[in-house]
Amino acid sequence: MSTITVQIPDDLDLALNVSPDALAPALLVAAAVKLFELGKISAGKAAELAGMPKPLFLITLAEWGGSASTLSAEDIAQDVANA
């Protein structure tokens, strides 16, 4: 897995109401949700980026107000096969 460095405002954790330790994971989830919503990455890749299992990502997506309606037939078939 690759590593990137991102400069962020010093008080972003306060603005997002998260602890400093939770800031990086929160940003990864936000990026994963948005990239999935834009159709840039699959739900599986978004879950990988967010660092969580795909079912948990889909729950998180719903909590963030996103929709899983962009799931492909292949994604759904794979989810059923893995259930």
pLDDT in tens, the chain (83 residues): 889 898 999 999 999 999 999 999 999 999 999 999 898 999 999 999 999 999 999 888 888 886 665 555 566 556 556 55
Q: Is residue 34 part of a domain?
A: yes
Count how many domains the chain has.
1
Is 11 part of any domain? no
Q: How far apart are the first and last CA of the chain?
A: 27
Residue 21 forms part of a structural domain: yes
User: What pTM was computed for the model?
Assistant: 0.77
> At 43, is the secondary structure helix, strand, or coil?
helix
Residue at 31 is within a domain: yes
Domain residue limits at 44: 17-82
C-beta neighbour count of 33 within 10 angstroms = 20
Tell me the backbone φ, ψ of residue 53, rounded to 5 degrees: -65, 150
Let me know if residue 65 belongs to a domain.
Answer: yes
